[in-house]
Amino acid sequence: MNPLPPNLRRVLDRDARPWRLMVLGGGQVTADRVRASVHRQDDRATVHAVQSLAEALDEDLSQTDLLLCHLELRDAGIDRVLEEVLLERPDLPVIVLVDAGCASQVDHALLAVNHGAYDYLVLNEGKLEQLPMLIDKNLAIHTVRQENARLQVQLTSTLAQLKIRNQQLQSLVRELETIAATDALTGIANRRALTEALEQRYAAAVRDNRDLALLVVDMDGFKALNDAVGHAAGDRVLQLAAQVLKANCRASDVPGRIGGDEFVVVLPETGLDEARAAAERIRLSFAEGGGRLCEAMGFAGRVSMSIGIATRSFAPDATADQLLGFADRALYCAKSDGKHRVAIHGQG
């Protein structure tokens, strides 16, 4: 008899506990032959014999480590045995026993292997020399399958945890990116994010030959407010300015604070008339809300907005930075002409 391969032998050696073998069918003679053969090789085994499927199902199959099932049963065929037994114990190793010289039984045994049995053994002339090795092999295979199933469950759980962790990390990255791109005081784009947005929108405008408008916004009277009622009041005014910009912008527009009391709004696919209308809405809306806020804070003066506009259609060959410079010059004109007004680059 060939010994069990060392790798499978090691698998069994790691689990050197008593184990239970059930022999189903074949009569008492078969049960005695199996018991004798097994005990010559392994005295840890308890061999229990039953002669019908009903008896087998009455047993506690959770305590059975391996089932030897003869094809000749009085109350069921092998298909039903596998169906009933594996329904109760899906992981139970089953070896089918067939009589020597019966080709039809071998065919049925092969079909049984295809339907869930581990292996089959031909009972040759009263000798069962191969049975211990076959049992060891299939118990080792069963142990490996069980370990693989455990590892698969563990792997699935780990992958699920990694997926959740990855989603959390992605959410954290998005949150950090938002924080990095947001002005902490006003909640709109900061200078870096605004510069990136301008470059991207401007490149798209050039590529698609579309117009693009820029608004540069500056507070009038902001220093006097800070000096009179303090920087906390100034912060409230800046926050109001950001709220007014957002309320009067489309989803595609990008309002941002570039520093101090100066803001920029990028208006993609926007011509001069639309840009002027948006600027006037922003200016008037802030004048109304800013007036109420200044009164509530006890500031007798006025804080308003001056706005400069530049559009790509007026200077189609200008770069994004040049266009921003044009809007800034228009803002200077608005300031010079009396403040609290909108000025357009290239007009006046």
For the cut 70, the answer to whether the pLDDT of residue 11 exceeds it is: no
Local confidence band at 1 (pLDDT 50, 70, 90 cut-offs): very low
* Domains of the chain by residue range: 6-151, 191-344
pTM score, two decimals?
0.59
For the cut 60, the answer to whether the pLDDT of residue 10 exceeds it is: no
> For position 232, what pLDDT does the model report?
94
- For residue range 19-38, what is the model confidence (pLDDT) as tens digits? 899 999 989 988 999 999 88
Sequence-distant (≥ 6) Cβ neighbours of residue 158 within 8 angstroms? none
Local confidence band at 303 (pLDDT 50, 70, 90 cut-offs): very high
| Integer Rg of the chain from CA | 43
- For residue range 62-107, what is the model confidence (pLDDT) as tens digits? 999 999 999 888 788 899 999 999 999 999 999 999 988 788 888 8
Local confidence band at 162 (pLDDT 50, 70, 90 cut-offs): very high
Residues 324, 305: Cα–Cα separation, whole Å: 18
CATH class of 191-344: alpha beta
For the cut 90, the answer to whether the pLDDT of residue 310 exceeds it is: yes
Residues 239, 246: Cα–Cα separation, whole Å: 11
- For residue range 232-290, what is the model confidence (pLDDT) as tens digits? 999 999 999 999 999 999 999 999 999 999 999 999 999 999 999 999 999 999 999 99
Give me the mean pLDDT over the 197-223 stretch: 95
Lowest mean pLDDT among 80-84, 130-134, 185-189: 130-134
Give me the mean pLDDT over the 218-231 stretch: 94
For the cut 60, the answer to whether the pLDDT of residue 15 exceeds it is: no
Please give the torsion angle defined by the CA atoms of residues 280, 282, 288 and 292, in that order, rounded to the nearest 10 degrees. -160
Local confidence band at 143 (pLDDT 50, 70, 90 cut-offs): confident
Whether domain 6-151 has CATH 3.40.50.2300: the reply is: yes
For the cut 70, the answer to whether the pLDDT of residue 14 exceeds it is: no
> For position 337, what pLDDT does the model report?
92
Give me the mean pLDDT over the 170-183 stretch: 89
> For position 265, what pLDDT does the model report?
98
